[in-house]
Structure 1
Amino acid sequence: MSGSLITSLLDAQWTIGDTSILWREIIGNGFGIASAVGGMRRVIWAWPVGIIGNILLFTVFLGGVFHTPQDLDLYGQAGRQVMFLIVSSYGWWQWHRAKTAGLREPAQADPSRSILSEPADTYEAVQPHWASARERVFMAVVAVVGTCGFAWLFSALGSWGPWSDAWIFTGSLLATLGMARGWTEFWLIWIAVDLVGVPLLFSAGYYPSALLYLIYAVFVIWGFVVWLKVQRETQARARVEGPPTAADTTGQRTVRTAQRH
Protein backbone atom coordinates (compact mmCIF):
# COMPACT_ATOMS: atom_id res chain seq x y z
CA MET A 1 0.00 0.00 0.00
CA SER A 2 2.77 2.41 1.02
CA GLY A 3 4.76 1.43 -2.07
CA SER A 4 1.88 2.25 -4.40
CA LEU A 5 1.36 5.57 -2.59
CA ILE A 6 5.01 6.52 -3.08
CA THR A 7 4.82 5.52 -6.73
CA SER A 8 1.68 7.61 -7.21
CA LEU A 9 3.36 10.62 -5.62
CA LEU A 10 6.46 10.21 -7.79
CA ASP A 11 4.41 9.83 -10.97
CA ALA A 12 1.96 12.67 -10.21
CA GLN A 13 1.74 15.07 -13.14
CA TRP A 14 0.39 18.49 -13.91
CA THR A 15 -1.03 18.83 -17.42
CA ILE A 16 -1.04 22.18 -19.19
CA GLY A 17 -2.56 21.88 -22.65
CA ASP A 18 -0.65 19.08 -24.35
CA THR A 19 2.27 19.29 -21.93
CA SER A 20 2.64 17.02 -18.90
CA ILE A 21 4.93 18.08 -16.07
CA LEU A 22 6.02 15.97 -13.13
CA TRP A 23 5.24 17.46 -9.75
CA ARG A 24 8.56 16.18 -8.47
CA GLU A 25 10.33 18.40 -11.01
CA ILE A 26 8.53 21.42 -9.57
CA ILE A 27 9.08 20.33 -5.96
CA GLY A 28 12.73 19.45 -6.57
CA ASN A 29 13.40 22.88 -8.04
CA GLY A 30 11.51 24.46 -5.15
CA PHE A 31 13.95 22.84 -2.74
CA GLY A 32 16.75 24.15 -4.96
CA ILE A 33 15.50 27.72 -4.65
CA ALA A 34 15.18 27.34 -0.88
CA SER A 35 18.78 26.12 -0.80
CA ALA A 36 19.92 29.14 -2.84
CA VAL A 37 18.19 31.50 -0.38
CA GLY A 38 19.82 29.67 2.53
CA GLY A 39 23.20 29.91 0.83
CA MET A 40 22.77 33.64 0.37
CA ARG A 41 22.03 33.97 4.09
CA ARG A 42 24.83 31.53 4.95
CA VAL A 43 22.71 29.19 7.08
CA ILE A 44 23.51 25.50 7.42
CA TRP A 45 20.06 24.22 6.46
CA ALA A 46 20.78 25.33 2.89
CA TRP A 47 22.80 22.14 2.36
CA PRO A 48 20.34 19.39 3.47
CA VAL A 49 17.42 21.17 1.79
CA GLY A 50 19.39 21.27 -1.45
CA ILE A 51 20.25 17.57 -1.14
CA ILE A 52 16.55 16.63 -1.02
CA GLY A 53 15.98 18.57 -4.22
CA ASN A 54 18.97 16.84 -5.85
CA ILE A 55 17.53 13.39 -5.16
CA LEU A 56 14.19 14.32 -6.73
CA LEU A 57 15.72 15.96 -9.80
CA PHE A 58 18.08 13.04 -10.45
CA THR A 59 15.08 10.92 -11.46
CA VAL A 60 13.59 13.77 -13.50
CA PHE A 61 16.57 14.35 -15.79
CA LEU A 62 16.95 10.67 -16.65
CA GLY A 63 13.65 10.85 -18.51
CA GLY A 64 14.44 7.97 -20.84
CA VAL A 65 15.43 5.70 -17.95
CA PHE A 66 12.51 6.57 -15.67
CA HIS A 67 10.03 7.14 -18.52
CA THR A 68 9.11 10.70 -17.60
CA PRO A 69 6.92 12.86 -19.88
CA GLN A 70 10.02 14.41 -21.50
CA ASP A 71 11.54 10.94 -22.16
CA LEU A 72 15.00 12.50 -22.68
CA ASP A 73 18.25 11.72 -20.88
CA LEU A 74 20.30 14.73 -19.80
CA TYR A 75 23.26 12.96 -18.23
CA GLY A 76 24.95 16.22 -17.27
CA GLN A 77 21.87 17.45 -15.44
CA ALA A 78 21.38 14.08 -13.75
CA GLY A 79 25.07 13.65 -13.01
CA ARG A 80 25.34 17.02 -11.38
CA GLN A 81 22.65 16.01 -8.90
CA VAL A 82 24.99 13.23 -7.76
CA MET A 83 27.86 15.72 -7.73
CA PHE A 84 25.72 18.10 -5.65
CA LEU A 85 25.16 15.32 -3.11
CA ILE A 86 28.90 14.83 -2.72
CA VAL A 87 29.98 18.48 -2.76
CA SER A 88 27.02 19.57 -0.63
CA SER A 89 28.02 17.02 2.01
CA TYR A 90 31.46 18.65 2.02
CA GLY A 91 29.91 22.12 2.25
CA TRP A 92 27.61 21.00 5.05
CA TRP A 93 30.63 19.70 6.99
CA GLN A 94 32.69 22.82 6.20
CA TRP A 95 30.02 25.21 7.49
CA HIS A 96 29.26 23.01 10.50
CA ARG A 97 32.95 23.08 11.38
CA ALA A 98 32.87 26.89 11.27
CA LYS A 99 29.82 26.87 13.51
CA THR A 100 31.35 24.65 16.15
CA ALA A 101 34.65 26.59 16.04
CA GLY A 102 33.00 29.50 17.83
CA LEU A 103 33.88 32.20 15.30
CA ARG A 104 32.28 35.60 14.84
CA GLU A 105 29.65 36.67 12.33
CA PRO A 106 29.13 40.29 11.29
CA ALA A 107 27.43 42.34 14.02
CA GLN A 108 24.21 42.71 12.00
CA ALA A 109 23.78 38.95 11.48
CA ASP A 110 20.60 37.41 12.87
CA PRO A 111 21.75 34.97 15.63
CA SER A 112 18.96 32.53 14.73
CA ARG A 113 20.34 32.30 11.19
CA SER A 114 24.02 32.32 12.07
CA ILE A 115 26.25 29.46 10.98
CA LEU A 116 28.34 30.13 14.08
CA SER A 117 27.85 29.24 17.71
CA GLU A 118 29.96 31.28 20.14
CA PRO A 119 31.16 34.86 19.57
CA ALA A 120 34.90 35.45 19.31
CA ASP A 121 37.27 38.14 18.14
CA THR A 122 38.58 36.43 15.01
CA TYR A 123 37.56 36.65 11.36
CA GLU A 124 38.20 33.02 10.43
CA ALA A 125 34.58 32.04 9.78
CA VAL A 126 33.08 31.03 6.44
CA GLN A 127 33.11 34.63 5.32
CA PRO A 128 32.65 35.80 1.70
CA HIS A 129 35.96 36.56 0.00
CA TRP A 130 37.45 36.66 -3.47
CA ALA A 131 39.36 33.60 -4.56
CA SER A 132 43.14 33.94 -4.84
CA ALA A 133 44.88 34.16 -8.22
CA ARG A 134 45.91 30.51 -7.95
CA GLU A 135 42.33 29.47 -7.13
CA ARG A 136 41.02 31.42 -10.11
CA VAL A 137 43.51 29.68 -12.41
CA PHE A 138 42.34 26.38 -10.94
CA MET A 139 38.71 27.26 -11.68
CA ALA A 140 39.53 28.29 -15.26
CA VAL A 141 41.44 25.07 -15.95
CA VAL A 142 38.66 22.92 -14.47
CA ALA A 143 36.05 24.84 -16.51
CA VAL A 144 37.83 24.20 -19.83
CA VAL A 145 39.11 20.68 -19.24
CA GLY A 146 35.94 19.58 -17.46
CA THR A 147 33.62 20.88 -20.17
CA CYS A 148 35.61 19.23 -22.97
CA GLY A 149 35.99 15.95 -21.11
CA PHE A 150 32.39 15.66 -20.04
CA ALA A 151 31.14 16.70 -23.48
CA TRP A 152 32.99 13.70 -24.92
CA LEU A 153 31.61 11.41 -22.20
CA PHE A 154 28.03 12.66 -22.50
CA SER A 155 28.18 12.34 -26.29
CA ALA A 156 29.26 8.73 -25.93
CA LEU A 157 26.39 8.09 -23.51
CA GLY A 158 23.87 9.65 -25.89
CA SER A 159 23.09 12.74 -23.87
CA TRP A 160 20.81 15.34 -25.43
CA GLY A 161 22.84 18.56 -25.96
CA PRO A 162 26.19 17.19 -24.67
CA TRP A 163 28.24 20.41 -24.83
CA SER A 164 25.68 22.50 -22.98
CA ASP A 165 25.12 19.63 -20.60
CA ALA A 166 28.88 19.37 -19.99
CA TRP A 167 29.28 23.05 -19.09
CA ILE A 168 26.24 22.96 -16.81
CA PHE A 169 27.73 19.98 -14.99
CA THR A 170 31.23 21.47 -14.73
CA GLY A 171 30.02 24.96 -13.82
CA SER A 172 27.71 23.57 -11.15
CA LEU A 173 30.63 21.66 -9.63
CA LEU A 174 32.74 24.81 -9.49
CA ALA A 175 29.90 26.95 -8.13
CA THR A 176 29.04 24.48 -5.35
CA LEU A 177 32.69 24.11 -4.40
CA GLY A 178 33.03 27.89 -4.39
CA MET A 179 30.03 28.24 -2.09
CA ALA A 180 31.56 25.73 0.33
CA ARG A 181 34.87 27.62 0.29
CA GLY A 182 33.23 31.03 0.64
CA TRP A 183 34.42 32.36 -2.75
CA THR A 184 32.25 35.27 -3.87
CA GLU A 185 32.93 34.27 -7.49
CA PHE A 186 30.65 31.26 -7.15
CA TRP A 187 27.61 33.50 -7.77
CA LEU A 188 29.12 34.64 -11.08
CA ILE A 189 29.69 31.03 -12.11
CA TRP A 190 26.01 30.31 -11.45
CA ILE A 191 25.07 33.15 -13.79
CA ALA A 192 27.17 31.54 -16.53
CA VAL A 193 25.48 28.20 -15.85
CA ASP A 194 22.02 29.78 -16.08
CA LEU A 195 22.84 31.44 -19.41
CA VAL A 196 23.42 27.99 -20.92
CA GLY A 197 20.93 26.03 -18.84
CA VAL A 198 17.79 28.04 -19.60
CA PRO A 199 17.91 27.57 -23.42
CA LEU A 200 18.85 23.89 -23.04
CA LEU A 201 15.98 23.08 -20.68
CA PHE A 202 13.40 24.95 -22.74
CA SER A 203 14.55 23.09 -25.86
CA ALA A 204 14.37 19.74 -24.05
CA GLY A 205 10.87 20.41 -22.70
CA TYR A 206 11.83 20.71 -19.04
CA TYR A 207 9.75 23.86 -18.68
CA PRO A 208 9.51 24.07 -14.84
CA SER A 209 13.27 23.68 -14.54
CA ALA A 210 13.85 26.29 -17.24
CA LEU A 211 11.49 28.78 -15.58
CA LEU A 212 12.99 28.13 -12.18
CA TYR A 213 16.46 28.65 -13.66
CA LEU A 214 15.26 32.14 -14.50
CA ILE A 215 14.14 32.58 -10.89
CA TYR A 216 17.53 31.24 -9.78
CA ALA A 217 19.16 33.99 -11.83
CA VAL A 218 17.34 36.64 -9.77
CA PHE A 219 18.45 35.01 -6.51
CA VAL A 220 21.99 34.62 -7.86
CA ILE A 221 22.29 38.34 -8.64
CA TRP A 222 20.75 39.19 -5.28
CA GLY A 223 23.04 36.74 -3.50
CA PHE A 224 26.10 38.16 -5.21
CA VAL A 225 25.20 41.68 -4.06
CA VAL A 226 24.57 40.47 -0.48
CA TRP A 227 27.86 38.53 -0.27
CA LEU A 228 29.78 41.42 -1.79
CA LYS A 229 28.31 43.79 0.80
CA VAL A 230 29.18 41.45 3.68
CA GLN A 231 32.67 41.00 2.28
CA ARG A 232 33.29 44.74 2.06
CA GLU A 233 31.90 45.37 5.56
CA THR A 234 34.10 42.64 7.01
CA GLN A 235 37.18 44.01 5.28
CA ALA A 236 36.39 47.55 6.44
CA ARG A 237 35.98 46.40 10.04
CA ALA A 238 39.22 44.45 9.84
CA ARG A 239 41.07 47.56 8.66
CA VAL A 240 39.72 49.58 11.59
CA GLU A 241 40.17 46.97 14.33
CA GLY A 242 43.21 45.21 12.91
CA PRO A 243 43.93 41.46 13.12
CA PRO A 244 44.14 39.82 16.56
CA THR A 245 47.60 39.27 18.00
CA ALA A 246 48.99 35.80 18.58
CA ALA A 247 48.59 36.26 22.33
CA ASP A 248 44.96 37.37 21.94
CA THR A 249 44.17 34.43 19.70
CA THR A 250 45.72 31.99 22.20
CA GLY A 251 43.77 33.55 25.03
CA GLN A 252 40.50 33.38 23.11
CA ARG A 253 41.03 29.71 22.34
CA THR A 254 41.78 29.00 26.01
CA VAL A 255 38.58 30.79 27.10
CA ARG A 256 36.47 28.94 24.51
CA THR A 257 37.98 25.60 25.58
CA ALA A 258 37.22 26.37 29.23
CA GLN A 259 33.66 27.40 28.37
CA ARG A 260 33.02 24.13 26.56
CA HIS A 261 34.21 22.14 29.56
Structure 2
Amino acid sequence: MSALDWLNGEAFSVLGQHVIWSDMIGNLIGLAALALGWRRSVATWPAQFLSGLILVAAYAQAHLSGGVGKQVLVIVVALWGWRQWAAGRRDAQDGSIAVRFATWRERGVLLAGTALGTLAVGALFTAVPELSWNPWPDAYIFVGTLAAMVAQARGLVEFWFAWLLVDVVGVPLAFTSGLAFSGLVYVVYFALVLWGMRDWWLRSRTAAKPALEGAAA
Protein backbone atom coordinates (compact mmCIF):
# COMPACT_ATOMS: atom_id res chain seq x y z
CA MET A 1 0.00 0.00 0.00
CA SER A 2 1.35 3.41 -1.00
CA ALA A 3 1.45 6.41 1.33
CA LEU A 4 -1.30 8.06 -0.75
CA ASP A 5 -3.53 5.00 -0.47
CA TRP A 6 -3.03 4.98 3.30
CA LEU A 7 -3.78 8.72 3.58
CA ASN A 8 -7.03 8.25 1.71
CA GLY A 9 -7.99 5.16 3.72
CA GLU A 10 -10.66 5.23 6.40
CA ALA A 11 -9.46 6.07 9.91
CA PHE A 12 -12.82 5.54 11.66
CA SER A 13 -16.55 6.20 11.34
CA VAL A 14 -18.72 8.35 13.56
CA LEU A 15 -22.50 8.85 13.24
CA GLY A 16 -22.40 7.29 9.79
CA GLN A 17 -19.67 9.64 8.57
CA HIS A 18 -16.42 8.07 7.32
CA VAL A 19 -13.26 9.93 8.39
CA ILE A 20 -10.16 9.42 6.23
CA TRP A 21 -6.60 9.81 7.49
CA SER A 22 -5.64 12.71 5.20
CA ASP A 23 -8.72 14.68 6.24
CA MET A 24 -8.01 14.10 9.94
CA ILE A 25 -4.23 14.64 9.96
CA GLY A 26 -4.27 17.62 7.59
CA ASN A 27 -6.95 19.40 9.56
CA LEU A 28 -5.33 18.74 12.93
CA ILE A 29 -2.14 20.33 11.62
CA GLY A 30 -4.23 23.18 10.20
CA LEU A 31 -5.81 23.64 13.61
CA ALA A 32 -2.35 23.85 15.17
CA ALA A 33 -1.37 26.39 12.49
CA LEU A 34 -4.34 28.60 13.40
CA ALA A 35 -3.43 28.41 17.09
CA LEU A 36 0.16 29.37 16.25
CA GLY A 37 -1.19 32.26 14.19
CA TRP A 38 -3.18 33.38 17.21
CA ARG A 39 0.10 33.39 19.17
CA ARG A 40 1.76 35.31 16.28
CA SER A 41 4.41 32.61 15.89
CA VAL A 42 6.29 32.27 12.59
CA ALA A 43 5.82 28.50 13.00
CA THR A 44 2.22 29.01 11.80
CA TRP A 45 3.49 29.11 8.20
CA PRO A 46 5.42 25.80 8.01
CA ALA A 47 2.42 24.21 9.76
CA GLN A 48 0.05 25.65 7.12
CA PHE A 49 2.42 24.44 4.39
CA LEU A 50 2.38 20.85 5.73
CA SER A 51 -1.38 20.93 6.27
CA GLY A 52 -1.89 22.03 2.66
CA LEU A 53 0.26 19.19 1.33
CA ILE A 54 -1.75 16.55 3.19
CA LEU A 55 -5.18 18.06 2.49
CA VAL A 56 -4.52 18.00 -1.27
CA ALA A 57 -5.00 14.22 -1.00
CA ALA A 58 -8.22 14.58 1.00
CA TYR A 59 -9.88 17.00 -1.44
CA ALA A 60 -8.70 15.02 -4.47
CA GLN A 61 -10.33 11.90 -3.01
CA ALA A 62 -13.58 13.86 -2.51
CA HIS A 63 -13.37 15.15 -6.12
CA LEU A 64 -13.37 18.78 -4.94
CA SER A 65 -11.08 20.46 -7.44
CA GLY A 66 -11.70 23.82 -5.82
CA GLY A 67 -10.52 22.34 -2.53
CA VAL A 68 -7.41 20.94 -4.21
CA GLY A 69 -6.74 24.30 -5.80
CA LYS A 70 -7.27 26.01 -2.45
CA GLN A 71 -4.68 23.79 -0.78
CA VAL A 72 -2.17 24.36 -3.58
CA LEU A 73 -2.76 28.06 -3.01
CA VAL A 74 -2.30 27.55 0.74
CA ILE A 75 1.08 25.93 0.05
CA VAL A 76 2.26 28.82 -2.15
CA VAL A 77 0.94 31.59 0.14
CA ALA A 78 2.36 29.80 3.21
CA LEU A 79 5.84 30.08 1.71
CA TRP A 80 5.27 33.79 0.98
CA GLY A 81 3.77 34.44 4.43
CA TRP A 82 6.67 32.64 6.07
CA ARG A 83 9.07 35.02 4.33
CA GLN A 84 6.93 38.05 5.23
CA TRP A 85 6.81 37.21 8.94
CA ALA A 86 10.47 36.24 9.11
CA ALA A 87 11.40 39.76 7.98
CA GLY A 88 8.37 41.58 9.42
CA ARG A 89 8.00 44.27 12.08
CA ARG A 90 8.19 42.90 15.64
CA ASP A 91 6.25 43.64 18.81
CA ALA A 92 8.52 45.51 21.23
CA GLN A 93 7.12 43.58 24.21
CA ASP A 94 7.63 39.94 23.25
CA GLY A 95 9.33 39.95 19.84
CA SER A 96 6.35 38.33 18.07
CA ILE A 97 5.01 39.69 14.78
CA ALA A 98 3.41 43.13 15.14
CA VAL A 99 -0.28 43.31 14.16
CA ARG A 100 -2.56 46.18 13.15
CA PHE A 101 -5.91 47.01 11.58
CA ALA A 102 -5.93 47.48 7.83
CA THR A 103 -6.32 50.92 6.30
CA TRP A 104 -9.57 51.66 4.48
CA ARG A 105 -7.70 51.35 1.20
CA GLU A 106 -6.40 47.89 2.16
CA ARG A 107 -9.89 46.82 3.20
CA GLY A 108 -11.30 48.01 -0.11
CA VAL A 109 -8.65 46.09 -2.06
CA LEU A 110 -9.29 42.91 -0.05
CA LEU A 111 -13.08 43.14 -0.44
CA ALA A 112 -12.95 43.99 -4.15
CA GLY A 113 -10.36 41.29 -4.83
CA THR A 114 -12.41 38.69 -2.94
CA ALA A 115 -15.65 39.60 -4.73
CA LEU A 116 -14.13 39.68 -8.20
CA GLY A 117 -12.07 36.57 -7.54
CA THR A 118 -15.12 34.64 -6.36
CA LEU A 119 -17.08 35.67 -9.46
CA ALA A 120 -14.21 34.65 -11.76
CA VAL A 121 -13.49 31.31 -10.08
CA GLY A 122 -17.20 30.52 -9.69
CA ALA A 123 -17.77 31.20 -13.39
CA LEU A 124 -14.84 28.92 -14.24
CA PHE A 125 -16.17 26.10 -12.05
CA THR A 126 -19.64 26.54 -13.55
CA ALA A 127 -18.31 26.46 -17.11
CA VAL A 128 -16.18 23.38 -16.40
CA PRO A 129 -18.32 21.12 -14.16
CA GLU A 130 -15.48 18.61 -13.82
CA LEU A 131 -13.65 21.10 -11.61
CA SER A 132 -16.31 21.21 -8.90
CA TRP A 133 -19.71 19.69 -8.19
CA ASN A 134 -20.67 22.71 -6.06
CA PRO A 135 -19.02 25.63 -7.89
CA TRP A 136 -20.07 28.77 -6.02
CA PRO A 137 -19.45 27.67 -2.42
CA ASP A 138 -16.21 26.05 -3.60
CA ALA A 139 -15.14 29.28 -5.31
CA TYR A 140 -16.10 31.36 -2.27
CA ILE A 141 -13.95 29.22 0.05
CA PHE A 142 -11.11 29.11 -2.47
CA VAL A 143 -10.87 32.90 -2.80
CA GLY A 144 -11.81 33.64 0.82
CA THR A 145 -8.96 31.47 2.06
CA LEU A 146 -6.52 33.34 -0.17
CA ALA A 147 -7.79 36.70 1.13
CA ALA A 148 -7.48 35.53 4.74
CA MET A 149 -3.93 34.27 4.28
CA VAL A 150 -2.80 37.43 2.49
CA ALA A 151 -4.24 39.53 5.35
CA GLN A 152 -2.53 37.26 7.88
CA ALA A 153 0.82 37.56 6.09
CA ARG A 154 0.51 41.35 6.36
CA GLY A 155 -0.34 41.14 10.07
CA LEU A 156 -3.85 42.56 9.62
CA VAL A 157 -6.53 41.95 12.26
CA GLU A 158 -9.07 41.63 9.43
CA PHE A 159 -7.56 38.23 8.69
CA TRP A 160 -9.76 36.80 11.46
CA PHE A 161 -12.94 38.32 9.99
CA ALA A 162 -12.09 36.72 6.65
CA TRP A 163 -11.76 33.30 8.32
CA LEU A 164 -15.14 33.73 10.01
CA LEU A 165 -16.78 34.33 6.64
CA VAL A 166 -15.03 31.27 5.18
CA ASP A 167 -16.21 29.10 8.10
CA VAL A 168 -19.86 30.03 7.55
CA VAL A 169 -19.79 28.23 4.18
CA GLY A 170 -16.97 25.78 4.89
CA VAL A 171 -18.75 23.84 7.66
CA PRO A 172 -21.85 22.71 5.71
CA LEU A 173 -19.84 22.16 2.50
CA ALA A 174 -17.37 19.87 4.28
CA PHE A 175 -20.14 17.73 5.80
CA THR A 176 -22.08 17.41 2.52
CA SER A 177 -18.83 16.47 0.70
CA GLY A 178 -18.15 13.54 3.03
CA LEU A 179 -15.26 15.29 4.81
CA ALA A 180 -16.73 15.01 8.29
CA PHE A 181 -13.51 15.73 10.13
CA SER A 182 -13.05 18.93 8.12
CA GLY A 183 -16.52 20.01 9.19
CA LEU A 184 -15.82 19.31 12.86
CA VAL A 185 -12.48 21.13 12.70
CA TYR A 186 -14.15 24.14 11.05
CA VAL A 187 -16.39 24.35 14.13
CA VAL A 188 -13.30 24.42 16.38
CA TYR A 189 -11.75 26.97 14.00
CA PHE A 190 -14.72 29.20 14.72
CA ALA A 191 -13.94 29.30 18.44
CA LEU A 192 -10.22 29.86 17.83
CA VAL A 193 -11.00 32.63 15.37
CA LEU A 194 -13.08 34.48 17.96
CA TRP A 195 -10.30 34.22 20.55
CA GLY A 196 -7.62 35.13 18.04
CA MET A 197 -9.62 38.10 16.80
CA ARG A 198 -9.93 39.45 20.36
CA ASP A 199 -6.22 38.96 21.06
CA TRP A 200 -5.03 40.65 17.85
CA TRP A 201 -7.56 43.48 18.30
CA LEU A 202 -6.32 44.20 21.83
CA ARG A 203 -2.68 44.02 20.74
CA SER A 204 -3.27 46.38 17.82
CA ARG A 205 -4.79 48.92 20.23
CA THR A 206 -1.88 48.52 22.67
CA ALA A 207 0.62 49.03 19.88
CA ALA A 208 -1.23 52.10 18.60
CA LYS A 209 -1.16 53.92 21.96
CA PRO A 210 2.63 54.50 22.14
CA ALA A 211 2.58 55.72 18.54
CA LEU A 212 -0.17 58.23 19.29
CA GLU A 213 1.55 59.37 22.49
CA GLY A 214 4.82 59.85 20.60
CA ALA A 215 3.06 61.90 17.93
CA ALA A 216 1.42 64.08 20.60
CA ALA A 217 4.75 64.69 22.29
- CA deviation digits over 1:14-72, x for unaligned, max 9? 23265432112101001101110111111111100111110110111112xxxxxxxx3
Once the two structures are superposed, the pairs formed by residues 1-261 of structure 1 within 5 Å of their partners are 4=1, 6-7=3-4, 9-16=6-13, 18-63=16-61, 72-98=62-88, 104-107=90-93, 109=94, 114-115=95-96, 126-155=97-126, 156-158=128-130, 159-242=132-215
Counterpart amino acid of 1:33? L
Distance in 2 (CA, whole Å) between partners of 1:175 and 1:44 is 16
Distance 1:191 1:7, change over 3 A: closer
- Whichever residue aligns with residue 26 of structure 1, its letter is M
Query: What is the identity, as a one-letter code, of the residue corresponding to 1:76?
Result: G
| Cα distance in 1, alignment partners of residues 140 and 4 from structure 2 | 33
* Amino acid of the structure 1 residue aligned with 2:76: I
- Give secondary structure in 1 for the equivalent of 2:28: helix
CA distance in 2, matches of 1:37, 1:243: 36
Letter in structure 2 aligned against 1:90: W
Q: 1:8 to 1:206 in 2, by over 3 A?
A: closer
Shift, 1:144, TM fit: 1.3
**TM-score, structure 1 as length reference:** 0.76
Aligned twin of 1:121: none
Match for 2:99: what amino acid?
P
The code of the aligned residue for 1:92 comes to W
2:8, 2:57 within 8 Å by CA — same for their partners in 1? Answer: no
- Identify the residue that residue 256 of structure 1 maps to in structure 2: none
Counterpart residue type for residue 66 of structure 2: G
Cα displacement string for residues 181-236 of structure 1 (whole angstroms, at most 9, x for unaligned residues):
11111100100000011111111121100110011111111110000011011111
Gaps of 5+ in 2: none
Query: Cα 1:205–1:105, aligned 2, differ >3 Å: closer, same or farther?
Result: same
Aligned to 1:129, the other structure's residue is in SS state coil
Matched residue, 1:248: none
Name the SS for the 1:15 alignment partner: strand
- Code of the aligned partner of 2:153: A
Normalising by structure 2, we get a TM-score of 0.91
Aligned CA RMSD, in angstroms, stands at 2.0
Question: Residue type of the partner of 1:79?
Answer: G
Distance (whole Å) between structure 2 residues aligned to residue 173 and residue 26 of structure 1: 22
CA gap 1:206/1:231 in 2 versus in 1, 3 angstroms: same
Percent of paired sites with the same residue: 32
SS in 1 for 2:18: strand
Size of the aligned set, in residue pairs, is 214
Structure 1 residue 7: Cα displacement:
4.7
CA distance, structure 2, for counterparts of residue 28 and residue 138 of structure 1: 30
Shift of 1:160: 1.9
CA distance in 2, matches of 1:32, 1:236: 33
